[in-house]
Structure 1
Amino acid sequence: MGRREELRAIDEAIAAAAGGGFRFLALTGEPGVGKTRLLNELAARAAPEGFLVLAGRASEYEREVPFGVLVDALGDHVPDVVPKLPPRVGPAAVARLSGIFPTVADRCEPPPAPEPGADANPVAARHRLHGTLRLVVQTFAKSRPLALILDGLHWGDSASLGFLDYLVRNPPRAGVVVATAFHYRPDIPSLARLIQADDGLHLNVGCFDLGETAEYLGAGFSRARQRELHRVSGGNPFYLEALSRMDGAATRDPQAEVPLSVRAAIQLELGGLSEPALLVARAAAVAADAFEPGLIAVAAGVPESDVVTALDELVVSGVVQPSATGRFRFRHPLVRNTVYSTAAAGWRHAVHARIARHLEQVGAPATLLAHHVENSARYGDAAAIDILLRAARAVESHAPSASAFWFSGALRRMPEDHPERVAVMLKVSRLHVVAGELEQGERAADEVMRLLPRGEGTDRARAARFSAMTRRLLGRVEESRAVIMDELRAMPDRESPAAVHLRLRLVAENLLRMDQDAARALLDDIPEHSPSWDAACTMAVAALRPMCSYADGQIDRALGELDTASHLLAITPDGQLAESVDSLTWLCWSELLMGRPADASRHFERVLSVTRATGQHFIVSVAMCGLARAQTALGGLARAATTADEAVELAEMLNAGQQIVFGLAQRSVVEYWKGNGADAVDFARRAVDTAGDQGEWWGKQAELALGLALVETGQAEAGARSLLEAANGFARPGSDLVTLVQVSERLAELEAARGRHAASAEWAAEADKYSHASLPVSTGLAALARAHSLLSTDPGAAAEHARGAAAVLAGNEYPLDAGRALLTAGTAAARASRRDTAKADLRRAAEVFGGCGAASFLRRAVREQRRLGIYVPVRGRSSGPHELSRRELEVAELVSAGRTNQQIAEALFISARTVESHLAHIFAKLGVSSRAGVVSALRSPS
């Protein structure tokens, strides 16, 4: 009835997929409104067009099963696809898929054992798994288009929703329509992202109006009865269907999600069933959303022949429906819900126990057993605890939410003196955080603290640190500090390792708040070493000292402490760093801010190795943001973009605002250097909006990124305001010293470009004021600021200052800023009529920018060269045709063939982001700014 717009959208999606495109449909609306009916209509229309139609439904009672809705839709068919996967992914794909789809493990060759630690990083593991699943979907659609229909996603597990989020952002290169239906829940961010998918269409399915209700009910109902049924049902088709079978007045509880009369109508329908059929219906409602007669015979405890007879009755009555796969399912989730609620709780417990025993006898994996064990195991049942622990560990890397659920199930059965109890509780807390379930992570950490006595104790102190960390990630900074201070008050020995790590956490909190005085006072109260400390504790204290001294302006002291900490890190094995890894990130950031990006990059890599090996994945995002910043400083823009993207992805998975800000800000800076000003502004605005007005250092870094991006896009006034905000208006407490010099230099450049020479000179003086002789990056930027201020009044002197700045910056591993200095030197030399010097400076600047992929800065260098009446070809790092590397030439040729970035990625087995990075280098080397320019350049002689 009605649904004209919905049917038109369905037909358009089918046509697009039939033509080889990808379409995503999201149908939302209240329960019973007809979303499933529309999905069925899509299937009915797609099948005659030659589509392969695969359908699955998420289940209310199996929400913890990872990838449950995908297993329902694809599970029977994935083994047929595995042999068709490209050889390069075959064995690894089987290994990943067999952990999700039991049919792969049963029907395919056993996969090789994974390398130790191969999936230790949850982001990398999830990315690889998502890529494999996407390839599976694409392979399904190779011979004919695919309609993948997924119903009830509001009950979908987080792993399934995460994959769909990935799929709409990285669509398969084949004719695929993915149609989904769910009740929209704003508390599930992944559902919100699906509604906003770029290649998708969101359809909010509404209820019938009174005319459609009357047409639906037909002439057998009086107008008064039609109006009454419409009022009570609200025009909901499912409710209408159920209520129309009842005699008498319909009632509705305004607080109930489903009208009481609807439940009564379904129960009346069930009352007409025979006792054997009702028994089978109840057993099926407990057992699974999609079920087979054999399993229901086990669940109900009756012969399979009796189940088959009962199913015939249930099908005739319309309670259940057969499917093409040979399974059965209830005609609607509300019917299953009602049947489930009529079964006694004790009887349901026994059904789960029977199913669990049966699955264990036939050798089912722990992940299939876990759901039924969780619903039937007794306290202290060692075998059940073991099954739940094995299931949790099996999905830990790719489904942390399900893993935490099953670990929690094991905890509920563990006796108080179980040796693994505290370790598992801490594991649950970490997994919840990795899954982005910060409140649950906080509660789990607090539970450990309630379990253990106050005072001395490593496990309790570790739980307190984690509880404080989750509160910070949730934005409750004052609570975070309060947890630490409360715990410290109860510790008798303030110099024990457990207490010291808590005190260092308090130091870090003050550094983030830019309260240098408080941080210094706290750290000065901690000795450098104690006989009771292990290597981790000594390392942690040493790692934080340089940042405190640097923030306090004691640069020479900070550099000495940096050397000491770096030496300690070099001689400390990874196995002894687990407790100090969060403090180690401060050492790396200190190296970054004090102009040692190569050291920072190397040490961030080590931090990442330790965090992944020890399961501290909540630190990975911060470390990756720092690594991206180091890679940017070193001129590795392509690597930096990929690293920052991964950092943002993990931070979003954690729902950690501070880490999202870090990642977005760094992503903005990368795009600024690459010359993508609009993207740089977009990333930076998102970072600033996420940071809000908390006034901490990480928010100031977002303002700095926004200022750079705004100036790059010609928004000088707004950019200047943002740069000043990044420096906190040069008031105390303000940004760190090098950031103050950086802001001063940029403002000196901006004022010089606007012809405000006096203002430019004032900012150059500010840069001089904050620079420090022991920090070459600061003196180099200060010299560049002086060059900007002299560019119009004394270009010869400006060139000398800029050339000196370039030498300092290049010698201290800052090639991009050195390139900017060379560009300024060349421009100034040209104004001073020093043509040969200008040519040399501009050539070197172009080489730097071309080698780093800084396209817009390269274009500026080329523009200045042309103003001198010369043209110097833009050269990269190879001697191939058109000065492109082999891979760049492959990408360029595919661009000329009209391939999209996604198609190029598929053809070369690389990511779309890597293609973008190659294109930036290609544009720079060819001196073009578009794909059309690449085509023209390749057709001309090299």
Structure 2
Amino acid sequence: MTSEAATNGELSRPGLRGREAELERLRALVRSVRDGDGGAIALLLGEPGIGKTVLLEETVSLARAHGFVVSQGRAEELHELAPLASLASGLLHGDPPLLAAKDFAHLAGHHDQRIWLVERLAQLIEERSAGTPTLIAIDDVQWTDPLSRFALNVMPARLLTSPVLWLLAGRENPDLRGDGPRTTTVPLRPLSGEALAELAHDALGGDIPEKVTELLDGSGGNPFLAAELLTGIAASGADGPEPPERLVLGVRGRLAALRPGTIDFLRIGSVLGRAFALADAAALCGRPASGLIGELEEAIAAGLLHDDGERLVFRHDLLRQAVYADLAPSARRALHREAASRLVAAGRTSVDAVPHLLKSAQPGDHEAVRLLGRAATDVRAVMPDLAADLAVRALQLVPPHDPTAFGVGEQAITALTRAGRYTRAREVGDALLARQPPLDVFARLQSVLGDTLWHLDDIHELTRRSTAALAVVTDPVISARLTARRALAQSRGRDLQEARGTGARALAEAKRAGDREARVVALWGLGEIALNAGECAAAVDHHTALSAFDAAFLPEEVVARVHLDDFDSARRLLRTAGDEPLRPAMLMWAQAGLNLGLGRLDDAEADLVTAERLEADIGVPGNLVNIRVHRGRLAVLRGDREAAEEHVDVVRAAVADRPNPGNHAAHQYAEAVLADADGDHTAAAERIRSAQRDNPFVRWRLLRTQFVEAVKIALRAGDRSLAEDLTAQAAAHASRNPSVPTAQGIAVHTAALVNADHGLLARSVRILLTGPRPLHLAAASADLGRALLTTGDAAAIPALTRAYEAYTRAGAGFEADRVRADLDRATARAGRRAAARPRPSEGWDALTASERKVARLIAAGHTNRSAAAALVVSPHTVNTHLASIFRKLSVNSRVHLTRFVLAEGEAETDADGPSGAANTAPMDNS
């Protein structure tokens, strides 16, 4: 039957009996993507033999008939350690291939940068599908390697605006996200009795004997078992055992008719996997490949194998499992162990051998320990969870009293920590320490555990352990690392002077020892100490040295420069990150800080959303509390009380999960802002006091620019003591940073509030006019204007006008409306000028200035990457803007967006909008 017939609703082969409803759902998806409704995901889920592959193949035929470019692949059970192997099978095999092999090879060379790799893959697919709908089909996704699984969880959502249909078939719970937008889950249930009868009629013709119907009932509605059963009945009648035993016995019967060499060949093949290379099977058989031609031909003739041109493949995985199940467990284990050894001897990587080792290695197998450790190291950067599993398994194979356990255990601790499994890493370390290792080993283990304890926020224990280890260490490298860890821990303590001394000593030791890790941690610790002390210039010096030594720490330098009010340098640094940033989530966080400082609230919100999404993608929400505190503050500035509450709810949950002092302070400040907005000023002031419980308010860098608001909360609550305390802290911070206009202006502003001094308010405005932060200038100008308004001074009008315009440009509608009311009173012309109209939540007018730019570029035919280049931003930022644009405009694809933009007929290209400066200057690159 032709593909055209299939598109008209006819079944192209009997294997689709009983799947009419499922096929219609998939046909509708194909048409939807073809017609420009955006990307979509289809998950075909069910047990082995239930018909997933047949339905996938039929959908591929439908897509081709509708003009799709099709890429089709399959994941393999024993290849799940090879980074990107599963995805490569789907992207490199097509006619023509969706991606060129050289492009994919370049990407694979960067597989240690997961976020960048997935973004670049998405860009290539987006460009390839720009004018043609695309289908990417991957079978057996339950066996995808972790990097491919990560990409499959992230990329479909990233490409929802493009005409890309993802068709993923696998068993139940394949560890893929199936709850996203435009996701269709198609569970394949057992076939009905009617469908089984149709299958029987297709195979046997005529009326179906009752005995056959009874046997088919025993198949459990599994199409493959039913088809095998019908094949057997057609060949030998209806007598025999019930399925699925019939399948195993049937395969055993087929094997019995084969020559012994062929049986051995098939059994060895079943150990190697559903698909295997003839050369690997020959090596395991101990024979040349040319000596297995007869066995291969016999296996193909028996209907057990077929040759796809590159590898030999069992006709169905259930057939392979039946052959595999016929091996005694001890024989399987021995064959897997021999396969691992032969693969290594043949020059294959440890990744190829490890799946066999996991099925065969026994305690005391030192070669297995070595290979597992090597594989863990090879995949640690890109697949940290898998690396942790491999490293732990290697440790389990080391006998309890074997001295090599400490080195293997050190690797396990490192791998577990990098995978974010901190509690388990600590347990492994403590178990090793309980064996009372030699003192030099004790110190080394404590050094490795230092990173674990830092991530667990157990600063007291980190300090105690590093101090104890330093008392016995003799290795200068380990001594430098321990000293650096101790300095980092002391950055959280009260005595920052002592911390500075420890950090300087650590850096000197690191340089003498020539150890990179110690030097990085020492510089990082010194930078943290300086920032926590409010010494912005020193923080910039340390973080500049750190990022020059290790480019991964460029975001920390950006953050330090923002604290110094050096926004020009921060912007230049962000632009140097290029297309391959090492820590994109942290870089987006740094860019958000810059945009917040510049008063570009819409762009800052997009940065924060992007940073949170990128952290969620890799499962490491390190900045979640700070991100949501900022987003809550933005919501308050816009007058969106409901959104602010939602953000604080997230903060509450995150702090409960990770209760460190910094998170506590940020959380209490967020609660204070909400309580103050609700008029509960006493509760708000108490929250501010709580934020200072562990350290003064100024210690928490997130809050350092919020002194003015905190002082106002204290004064509204009648808590003058708290207001004076905060003012003194602001003054001390200003004295440490004489070249930072924001620090100077805030100090004068808080003093003016406490002392009700109009002259100080005017001075704070003059200082802040020399700085880069418009919102701080707006706050000071508003307070000055209101103070002058009470005395009838006409100078109130320009002060209030300056504040109103700054808030309006920033998109802080709530604050702008408050100032507008004061300005109307000042001019005695209330009602002559309307208050700023709040931005609607839907439609073209709901878009921010940056979103309008992105919408126009995409409507003009740009890809995310080319739009990002035109706007000097990250593709991640464009993706975030697009998600918001689609939501506000209620469109599903680029096609729909283009129609909307054209219909809107907007003529301006750079009009002023709520993002202010973002309308006249490029958005900052991440």
Under a length normalisation based on structure 1, what TM-score does the superposition of the two structures give?
0.67
Q: 1:533 to 1:939 in 2, by over 3 A?
A: closer
Structure 1 residue 717 corresponds to structure 2 residue 678? yes
Amino acid at match of 2:781: L
CA contact (8 A) 1:657 1:691 kept: no
Q: 1:134 to 1:632 in 2, by over 3 A?
A: closer
Alpha-carbon separation, structure 2, partners of 1:567 and 1:292: 58
The residue aligned with 2:156 is 168
Q: Per the alignment, in what secondary structure is the counterpart of residue 77 of structure 2?
A: coil
The residue aligned with 2:171 is 183
Structure 1 residue 203 corresponds to structure 2 residue 178? no
Alpha-carbon separation, structure 2, partners of 1:164 and 1:19: 24
The residue aligned with 2:445 is 460
Amino acid at match of 1:843: R
Alpha-carbon separation, structure 1, partners of 2:226 and 2:682: 60
CA contact (8 A) 1:84 1:139 kept: no
1:97-116 equivalences in 2 (<5 Å): 97=108
Structure 1 residue 22 corresponds to structure 2 residue 39? yes
The residue aligned with 1:839 is 798
Alpha-carbon separation, structure 1, partners of 2:212 and 2:683: 65
Q: Per the alignment, in what secondary structure is the counterpart of residue 692 of structure 1?
A: helix
Amino acid at match of 2:107: R
Higher relative contact order (CA 8 A, sep 6+): 2
Structure 1 residue 775 corresponds to structure 2 residue 759? no
Q: 1:677 to 1:4 in 2, by over 3 A?
A: farther
The residue aligned with 1:290 is 275
The residue aligned with 1:42 is 59
Alpha-carbon separation, structure 1, partners of 2:382 and 2:35: 34
Query: Is the deviation greater in 216-225 or in 269-278?
Result: 216-225
1:46, distance to aligned residue in structure 2 (A): 1.8
1:666-685 equivalences in 2 (<5 Å): 684-685=648-649
1:28-67 equivalences in 2 (<5 Å): 28-67=45-84
Q: Per the alignment, in what secondary structure is the counterpart of residue 195 of structure 1?
A: coil
1:121-136 equivalences in 2 (<5 Å): 125-136=113-124
Aligned with residue 817 of structure 1, among 776, 788, 791: 776
Alpha-carbon separation, structure 2, partners of 1:405 and 1:913: 31
Structure 1 residue 96 corresponds to structure 2 residue 52? no
The residue aligned with 1:762 is 718
Q: Give per-residue Cα distances to partners, 1:587-628, cap 9 Å, x unaligned.
A: 6556555545565566456667778889xx9x9899879957
1:327-476 equivalences in 2 (<5 Å): 327-343=311-327, 345-346=330-331, 349=334, 353=338, 357=342, 368=352, 393-403=377-387, 422=406, 425-436=409-420, 441-442=425-426, 445-446=429-430, 448-449=432-433, 453=437, 457-466=442-451, 468=453, 472=456
CA contact (8 A) 1:716 1:750 kept: no
Alpha-carbon separation, structure 1, partners of 2:775 and 2:864: 27
Q: Give per-residue Cα distances to partners, 1:846-877, cap 9 Å, x unaligned.
A: 56985xx666589669957985679999xxxx
CA contact (8 A) 1:802 1:825 kept: yes
Alpha-carbon separation, structure 2, partners of 1:423 and 1:810: 59
The residue aligned with 1:68 is 85
Query: Is the deviation greater in 59-68 or in 740-749?
Result: 740-749
1:70, distance to aligned residue in structure 2 (A): 1.6
Amino acid at match of 1:162: F
Alpha-carbon separation, structure 2, partners of 1:126 and 1:589: 27
1:648-797 equivalences in 2 (<5 Å): 648=612, 652=616, 655=619, 660-662=624-626, 664-665=628-629, 684-692=648-656, 696-700=660-664, 703-704=667-668, 707=671, 716-717=677-678, 727=688, 736=697, 746=709, 760=716, 762=718, 766-772=722-728, 773-776=731-734
Structure 1 residue 904 corresponds to structure 2 residue 867? yes
CA contact (8 A) 1:435 1:654 kept: no
Structure 1 residue 496 corresponds to structure 2 residue 467? no
CA contact (8 A) 2:685 2:713 kept: no
Q: 1:3 to 1:450 in 2, by over 3 A?
A: farther
Q: Per the alignment, in what secondary structure is the counterpart of residue 649 of structure 2?
A: helix
Alpha-carbon separation, structure 2, partners of 1:366 and 1:99: 19
Q: 1:266 to 1:865 in 2, by over 3 A?
A: farther
Q: Give per-residue Cα distances to partners, 1:84-131, cap 9 Å, x unaligned.
A: 99xxxx7xx75433577xxxxxxxxxxxxxxxxxxxxx5xx2222223
Q: Per the alignment, in what secondary structure is the counterpart of residue 678 of structure 2?
A: helix
Q: 1:842 to 1:8 in 2, by over 3 A?
A: farther
Q: 1:858 to 1:164 in 2, by over 3 A?
A: farther
RMSD across aligned positions (CA):
6.0
Q: Which structure 2 residue ranges, 5 or more long, are not aligned?
A: 1-16, 557-581, 735-741, 837-848, 886-899, 913-919, 921-926
Q: 1:546 to 1:267 in 2, by over 3 A?
A: same
1:15, distance to aligned residue in structure 2 (A): 2.1
1:905, distance to aligned residue in structure 2 (A): 3.1
Q: Per the alignment, in what secondary structure is the counterpart of residue 180 of structure 1?
A: strand
Q: Per the alignment, in what secondary structure is the counterpart of residue 181 of structure 1?
A: strand
1:3, distance to aligned residue in structure 2 (A): 3.7
1:237-248 equivalences in 2 (<5 Å): 237-238=223-224, 240-241=226-227
1:445, distance to aligned residue in structure 2 (A): 3.7
Q: Per the alignment, in what secondary structure is the counterpart of residue 398 of structure 1?
A: coil
Structure 1 residue 10 corresponds to structure 2 residue 21? no
Q: Per the alignment, in what secondary structure is the counterpart of residue 279 of structure 1?
A: helix
Q: 1:302 to 1:454 in 2, by over 3 A?
A: closer
Alpha-carbon separation, structure 2, partners of 1:718 and 1:277: 84
Q: 1:375 to 1:495 in 2, by over 3 A?
A: closer
Q: 1:338 to 1:653 in 2, by over 3 A?
A: farther
Alpha-carbon separation, structure 2, partners of 1:824 and 1:498: 59
Q: Per the alignment, in what secondary structure is the counterpart of residue 159 of structure 2?
A: coil
How many residues are matched? Answer: 810
CA contact (8 A) 1:745 1:763 kept: no
Q: Give per-residue Cα distances to partners, 1:863-912, cap 9 Å, x unaligned.
A: 57985679999xxxxxxxxxxxx999986863784868677237668534
Query: Is the deviation greater in 727-736 or in 411-420?
Result: 411-420
Q: Give per-residue Cα distances to partners, 1:438-474, cap 9 Å, x unaligned.
A: 576456545653666176632122244455457x38x
Q: Per the alignment, in what secondary structure is the counterpart of residue 61 of structure 1?
A: helix
Q: Give per-residue Cα distances to partners, 1:138-184, cap 9 Å, x unaligned.
A: 45546754321122222222111111122123218753211112334
Q: 1:774 to 1:745 in 2, by over 3 A?
A: closer
1:199, distance to aligned residue in structure 2 (A): 3.7
Q: 1:775 to 1:234 in 2, by over 3 A?
A: farther
Query: Is the deviation greater in 429-438 or in 400-409?
Result: 400-409
Q: 1:215 to 1:749 in 2, by over 3 A?
A: farther
1:528-567 equivalences in 2 (<5 Å): 545=490, 547-549=492-494
CA contact (8 A) 2:339 2:353 kept: no
Q: Per the alignment, in what secondary structure is the counterpart of residue 148 of structure 1?
A: strand
CA contact (8 A) 1:392 1:403 kept: yes
1:698, distance to aligned residue in structure 2 (A): 4.7
Q: 1:317 to 1:834 in 2, by over 3 A?
A: farther
Q: Give per-residue Cα distances to partners, 1:498-536, cap 9 Å, x unaligned.
A: 69x9xxxxxxxxxxxxxxxxxxxxxxxxxxxxx999666
Query: Is the deviation greater in 135-144 or in 30-39?
Result: 135-144
Identical residues among aligned pairs (%): 21
Under a length normalisation based on structure 2, what TM-score does the superposition of the two structures give?
0.68
Q: Which structure 1 residue ranges, 5 or more long, are not aligned?
A: 101-121, 253-258, 502-530, 550-556, 752-758, 791-796, 874-885, 923-929
